[in-house]
Structure formats: C-alpha cells, structure tokens
C-alpha cells in the first residue's frame, strides 16, 4: 500500500498516542504525550505514514534517536488494520536514507526476543543480530540487540 511519509507535527499527537496504545501494552515502555512532544521538538527523527493528503491521520510511525555517530530505532508501530502491507518497510527505508544523509552509517535497535514479527521485519531490512541484553524489559524479558550498517545495495 502506497502511503505518504513525512515528519510528524504537533497536530499528530493524538493519533501517535492512539497508535502507541494499539501496538504496545503496559509491560512495554509506552511513549507518553510529553515524550512525543519532546521528540517532535528535538533533533530526533519522527516520521509518520499517512494514507493520503485527504486522509492525513497517521496509520504508523517510526522514531529514530540520532546520536553523534550512530542512530537508534527507538520505536515503531503500525495500526493493526494496516499491517502486512509494507508500511513499516517504507518507513524504515525513509528513516535509513535520512540516517545516511546525516552520515550515520550504523543503526541499532533493541527488540523483545519473543517479537518474531518485528525480528523478521528487521532481518528482511538487513539488520543482523548483535547480542542479547538479558532482563532488559520491565517484565524481565531479554532484548535482542540488532544492528544495520550502511550498504548501498540495500537502499532503493
């Protein structure tokens, strides 16, 4: 499904919070309104996917924290009704292109070891398993840390 991908704005706050509550549960670190507001005003990258200009309510988002030499995918969520249509992949490609443009050639993320859906997506995008962070989440689940390094053949 083709979507419109662009930087989020303050007008997207309500929809971002709704996406967050649809995608995660209390055991996850859910982003609050205050946290989204902070990221919107920071140097970090917060992209949303909109169905169209006429229907601009975000159906997905990705948040990337930019450091001096690396970037970290902090969060990603697609509304349940819009999953498995390539939207997360499109958001990722935009985000990775932005990282390259910012000369950030190493991108890291942590994902629940049990989140096979997300791990499949990350592997399909060229991320490799780096190491395991034991007892990482509030409910003591381990995180799988994955890493992507710039390879021009992966970006279209």
Ligand X SMILES: CC(C)(COP(=O)(O)OP(=O)(O)OC[C@H]1O[C@@H](n2cnc3c(N)ncnc32)[C@H](O)[C@@H]1OP(=O)(O)O)[C@@H](O)C(=O)NCCC(=O)NCCS
Interacting residues toward ligand X by CB under 6 A: 23, 75-78, 83-89, 111, 115, 117-118, 120-121, 124
Cβ proximity to ligand X: between 11 and 120 the closer is: 120
Cβ proximity to ligand X: between 57 and 83 the closer is: 83
Q: Least CB distance from residue 28 to ligand X, whole Å?
A: 8
Cβ proximity to ligand X: between 15 and 23 the closer is: 23
Cβ proximity to ligand X: between 48 and 111 the closer is: 111
Q: Least CB distance from residue 60 to ligand X, whole Å?
A: 6
DSSP secondary structure, the chain, as one string: ---EEEE--GGGHHHHHHHHHHH--TTS-PPPHHHHHHHHTSSSEEEEEES-SSS-SEEEEEEEEE-SSEEEEEEEEE-GGGTTSSHHHHHHHHHHHHHHHTT--EEEEEEETT-HHHHHHHHHTT-EEEEEETT-STT---EEEEEEE--GGG--
Cα distance between residue 135 and residue 122, in whole Å: 21
Q: Least CB distance from residue 53 to ligand X, whole Å?
A: 21
Q: Least CB distance from residue 129 to ligand X, whole Å?
A: 15
Cβ proximity to ligand X: between 49 and 104 the closer is: 49
Q: Least CB distance from residue 42 to ligand X, whole Å?
A: 19
């Amino acid at each position: 499904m083709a979507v419109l991908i662009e930087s989020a704005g303050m007008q997207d706050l309500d929809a971002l919070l709704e996406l967050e509550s649809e995608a995660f549960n209390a055991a996850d670190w859910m982003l609050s309104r205050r946290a989204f507001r902070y990221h919107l005003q920071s140097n970090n990258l917060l992209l949303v996917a909109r169905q169209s200009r006429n229907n601009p309510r975000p159906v997905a988002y990705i948040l990337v924290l930019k450091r001096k030499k690396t970037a970290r995918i902090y969060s990603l969520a697609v509304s349940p009704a819009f999953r498995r249509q390539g939207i997360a992949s499109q958001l990722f490609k935009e985000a990775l292109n932005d990282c390259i443009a910012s000369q950030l050639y190493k991108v890291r993320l942590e994902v629940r070891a049990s989140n096979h859906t997300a791990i499949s997506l990350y592997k399909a995008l060229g991320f490799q398993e780096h190491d395991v962070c034991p007892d990482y989440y509030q409910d003591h689940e381990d995180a799988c840390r994955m890493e992507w390094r710039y390879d021009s053949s992966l970006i279209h």
